[in-house]
Amino acid sequence: MISGYTALYGLVAHPAHHSLSPMIHNLGFKQHQIDARYLVFDSQAQPQNIATAIRTLGVAGVNLSMPYKQSLVPLMDELMPAAQLVGAINTVALQSGKLVGTNTDGDGFWRALQKRYPNLASQQIVMLGAGGAGLAIIEAAARYGVATIQVFKRQNPTYVAVEQRLVTIANHHSMSIVLHDYADEQALQHALITADCVINATNLGMVNTPGLPMAAPLIRQIAPTCLVTDLIYAPRQTAFLQLAAQSGHSTQNGLGMLIEQAALSFQFWTGRVLQTDPIYHALMKEF
């Protein structure tokens, strides 16, 4: 039942209506008997207008996706440490009239990975792409025992800025992060041979962006014991994961990350711990 005291949360993104976040969070509110609802706001408004709307309407918290993860950063009154290092936010809370931004993507990814593969030794990582979610995973990696990350990114206008941010993250966590040009197939092949985990953080493989994040023959160069992961969860198994599975690799899609990052957002907003197993089973049953 919605009352005059029902708290409002939501996702601000474009496109947004395909998102599973409303189901996850509304199940969470039901789980903890919290008088709140989570909606989708499919918006192309200017970032300043989004920030103003959150304050003016008293929206208790929002998640952010494209195109707002980076553009709303300068409009926050406070940034949590991980968000400062990454330069991107996916979660905003309205606290005493102030907008507080954080990023739960990175810890969400590693929590999901450890949940399914608790004995996985992920010291050597190959990261394909370095957008907002990819950078968040890189920043969080040190907290989960990762020693070295080899990042492959296209030579585009953001390359130098990403390189500088990776240096900052590496220095902060005292870890090794090496950035390569995505076109350097020799470097990629060498990195794949010794990797414990390969992460596709590009959009190649999504329903509207078919394709592979690397040439098919390179997938066979991945170390046999290496886990192959994809941040994409629709489709549930991308062409990349299909080829990796055919080569005998263990694989994981992005659904676990989606749920675990949502649980961390939920806790950031409410202080309550979300039980994720029932939500995972509900999503699998629904879809």
Q: Which residues are catalytic?
A: 69
Q: Which two tokens stand for residue 75?
A: 């409009």
Strands (DSSP E) found in 90-233: 91-95, 98-102, 124-128, 148-153, 176-181, 197-200, 227-230
From its phi and psi, is residue 268 left (phi > 0), alpha (psi between -120 and 50) or beta?
A: alpha
Q: Is the Cβ–Cβ distance between 152 and 128 less than 8 Å?
A: yes
Strands (DSSP E) found in the chain: 7-13, 36-42, 61-64, 78-79, 91-95, 98-102, 124-128, 148-153, 176-181, 197-200, 227-230, 251-252
Q: Is the Cβ–Cβ distance between 65 and 90 less than 8 Å?
A: yes
Using the Cα atoms of residue 92, residue 13, residue 115 and residue 103 in order, give the sign of their dihedral: negative
